Structure 1
Amino acid sequence: MTAAWVPGDSASTFDARKVFDRDYLHFYAPRLTDRRSDAEAQLIWELLGLEPGMETLDLACGQGRIANRLAARGCRVTGLDTVPLFLEDARRDAVARDVAVDYVEGDMRMLPWVERFDRVISWSTSFGYFDDTANRQVLTQAARALKTGGLIVFDLNNRDWLVREFQPTIVVERDGDMLIDRNRLEPLTGRVVTERIVVREGRIRRLSFFVRLFTFTELRDWLLAAGFTDVDGYGNDGAPLSSACSRLLAVARR
Structure 2
Amino acid sequence: MVANIFDGNSVFEEDYLYFYETLLTLERTQHEVDLICRLLDLQAGMSILDLACGHGRIANQLGARGYHVTGLDATAFFLEKANQDAASNGVKVEYLQGDMRSLPFSERFNCIINCFTAFGYFDDNENRAVLTQAYRALKVGGKLLIDIQNFSRVLQEFTPELITEREGNYMLARTHYDALTNRTHTERIIIRDGQVRRGQYFVRNFTFPEIRDWLLQTGFSEVEGYGYDGEPFALDSRRMIVVASK
TM-score (norm 1): 0.95
Secondary structure of the equivalent of 2:191? strand
Task: Tell whether 2:166 aligns with 1:174.
Answer: yes
Please name the residue that 2:183 is paired with. 191
Deviations 1:59-85 (A, max 9, x none): 000111111111111111000000000
Q: Which runs of 4+ in 1 moved over 3 A?
A: none
Whichever residue aligns with residue 153 of structure 2, its letter is W
Q: Distance in 2 between matches of 1:12 and 1:230?
A: 31
Task: Give the drift of 1:165.
Answer: 1.5
Please name the residue that 1:37 is paired with. 29
Please name the residue that 2:17 is paired with. 25
Please name the residue that 1:106 is paired with. 98
Q: Distance in 2 between matches of 1:105 and 1:250?
A: 25
Secondary structure of the equivalent of 2:144? strand
Please name the residue that 1:5 is paired with. none
Please name the residue that 1:201 is paired with. 193
TM-score (norm 2): 0.98
Q: Distance in 2 between matches of 1:206 and 1:68?
A: 30
Q: Report percent identity of matched pairs.
A: 50
Task: Tell whether 2:83 aligns with 1:91.
Answer: yes
Q: Distance in 2 between matches of 1:163 and 1:34?
A: 28
Matched residue count: 246
Whichever residue aligns with residue 146 of structure 2, its letter is F
Task: Tell whether 2:44 aligns with 1:47.
Answer: no
| Cα 1:34–1:11 shift into 2, 3 Å | farther
Task: Tell whether 2:159 aligns with 1:163.
Answer: no
Secondary structure of the equivalent of 2:170? strand
Secondary structure of the equivalent of 1:195? strand
Whichever residue aligns with residue 81 of structure 1, its letter is D
The 8 Å contact of residues 11 and 193 in structure 1, kept in 2 or not, is answered as no
Whichever residue aligns with residue 57 of structure 1, its letter is L
Deviations 1:66-119 (A, max 9, x none): 111111111110000000000000001111121111100000000010000000
Corresponding residue to 1:214 among 187, 206, 230: 206
Corresponding residue to 2:7 among 15, 21, 34: 15
Q: Distance in 2 between matches of 1:11 and 1:53?
A: 44
Whichever residue aligns with residue 16 of structure 2, its letter is Y
Whichever residue aligns with residue 59 of structure 1, its letter is L
RMSD: 0.9
- Structure 2 unaligned spans of 5+: none
Q: Which moved more, 1:78-87 or 1:157-166?
A: 157-166
Q: Distance in 2 between matches of 1:25 and 1:162?
A: 22
Please name the residue that 1:82 is paired with. 74
